[in-house]
Amino acid sequence: MANIKSQKKRILTNERNRQANVAFRSKMRTSIKKVKAACEKKDLALAEQLLPLAVSLIDKSVKEGIQKQNTASRQKSSLMLAVNALKAAAAE
């Protein structure tokens, strides 16, 4: 443990921020899983409803520095491909 008062405060701040990032990352991953689950159940309406929320959370994670842009792009692309494949299957 640090002896300097400002460093003690910094340790507390870092831990609080870490916990917030963990919670946000969990929320984001849950939303991604919900979209994928809706696609697996072939529920187009639910998937289209959940997709904007998942994409929004992914974009926010990049903005807040929780994950990198390439990771976010890959995740969004995967979700879009799944939903678009479901749309194509429903159209046929």
pLDDT of residue 28: 98
pLDDT of residue 64: 95
3-state secondary structure 19-75: HHHHHHHHHHHHHHHHHHHHHHCCCHHHHHHHHHHHHHHHHHHHHCCCCCHHHHHHH
pLDDT of residue 2: 85
- Summarize pLDDT for 27-81 with one digit per residue, the tens: 999 999 999 999 999 999 999 999 999 999 999 999 999 999 999 999 999 999 9
CA distance 73 to 47: 18
Nearest to 64, CA basis, from 34, 30, 27, 32: 27
Asked if the model's pLDDT at residue 89 lies above 80, the reply is yes
Tell me 3's DSSP state.
S
